[in-house]
Protein backbone atom coordinates (compact mmCIF):
# COMPACT_ATOMS: atom_id res chain seq x y z
CA UNK A 1 0.00 0.00 0.00
CA UNK A 2 1.29 3.42 -0.91
CA UNK A 3 -0.21 6.52 0.69
CA UNK A 4 0.30 9.49 -1.61
CA UNK A 5 2.14 12.51 -0.32
CA UNK A 6 3.58 15.62 -1.98
CA UNK A 7 6.92 13.84 -2.46
CA UNK A 8 5.38 11.03 -4.53
CA UNK A 9 5.60 11.31 -8.29
CA UNK A 10 3.60 9.26 -10.77
CA UNK A 11 6.81 7.62 -11.96
CA UNK A 12 7.82 6.67 -8.40
CA UNK A 13 4.43 5.12 -7.59
CA UNK A 14 4.34 3.27 -10.90
CA UNK A 15 7.87 1.94 -10.30
CA UNK A 16 6.83 0.72 -6.83
CA UNK A 17 3.74 -0.94 -8.33
CA UNK A 18 5.81 -2.78 -10.95
CA UNK A 19 8.36 -3.94 -8.37
CA UNK A 20 5.69 -5.15 -5.96
CA UNK A 21 3.65 -7.02 -8.57
CA UNK A 22 6.78 -8.51 -10.14
CA UNK A 23 7.78 -9.82 -6.71
CA UNK A 24 4.50 -11.69 -6.34
CA UNK A 25 2.33 -9.17 -4.50
CA UNK A 26 -1.31 -9.95 -5.29
CA UNK A 27 -2.60 -6.36 -4.94
CA UNK A 28 -1.04 -2.90 -4.88
CA UNK A 29 -3.09 -0.13 -3.29
CA UNK A 30 -2.57 3.60 -3.83
CA UNK A 31 -4.40 5.70 -1.24
CA UNK A 32 -4.88 9.39 -1.99
CA UNK A 33 -5.99 11.15 1.23
CA UNK A 34 -6.50 14.46 -0.56
CA UNK A 35 -8.88 13.06 -3.17
CA UNK A 36 -10.20 10.44 -0.73
CA UNK A 37 -9.69 7.70 -3.32
CA UNK A 38 -8.13 4.25 -3.37
CA UNK A 39 -6.81 2.68 -6.57
CA UNK A 40 -6.20 -1.07 -6.45
CA UNK A 41 -4.12 -2.93 -9.03
CA UNK A 42 -4.34 -6.69 -8.81
CA UNK A 43 -2.66 -9.55 -10.57
CA UNK A 44 -4.76 -11.69 -12.81
CA UNK A 45 -6.40 -11.29 -16.11
CA UNK A 46 -4.18 -13.72 -18.00
CA UNK A 47 -5.21 -15.52 -21.16
CA UNK A 48 -8.00 -17.99 -20.48
CA UNK A 49 -9.24 -16.04 -17.45
CA UNK A 50 -11.96 -13.49 -16.86
CA UNK A 51 -11.87 -10.15 -15.08
CA UNK A 52 -14.84 -8.59 -13.33
CA UNK A 53 -16.15 -5.16 -14.24
CA UNK A 54 -18.84 -3.17 -12.49
CA UNK A 55 -19.11 -0.86 -15.50
CA UNK A 56 -19.69 -3.76 -17.89
CA UNK A 57 -21.99 -5.50 -15.45
CA UNK A 58 -20.18 -8.77 -14.94
CA UNK A 59 -17.07 -10.45 -16.23
CA UNK A 60 -15.10 -10.11 -19.43
CA UNK A 61 -12.98 -12.89 -20.88
CA UNK A 62 -9.40 -11.68 -21.31
CA UNK A 63 -9.15 -13.57 -24.61
CA UNK A 64 -12.09 -11.51 -25.95
CA UNK A 65 -10.29 -8.26 -25.19
CA UNK A 66 -7.28 -9.26 -27.27
CA UNK A 67 -9.25 -10.97 -30.04
CA UNK A 68 -10.27 -7.56 -31.39
CA UNK A 69 -6.68 -6.31 -31.67
Where are the chain's structural domains?
2-67
Model-level pTM? Answer: 0.66
Round to whole Å and give the CA distance between 23 and 26: 9
**Higher-confidence position of 68 and 4:** 4
Classified as helix, coil or strand, 4 is coil
If pLDDT is split at 50, 70 and 90, which confidence band does 45 have? low
| Mean pLDDT, the chain, integer | 87
Pick the range with the lowest mean pLDDT from 3-7, 17-21, 41-45, 55-59. Answer: 41-45
Which phi-psi region, left, alpha or beta, contains residue 11 (left: φ > 0; alpha: ψ -120 to 50)? alpha
Amino acid sequence: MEVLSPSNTSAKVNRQRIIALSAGTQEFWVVDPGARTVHVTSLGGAAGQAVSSTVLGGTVEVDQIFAAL
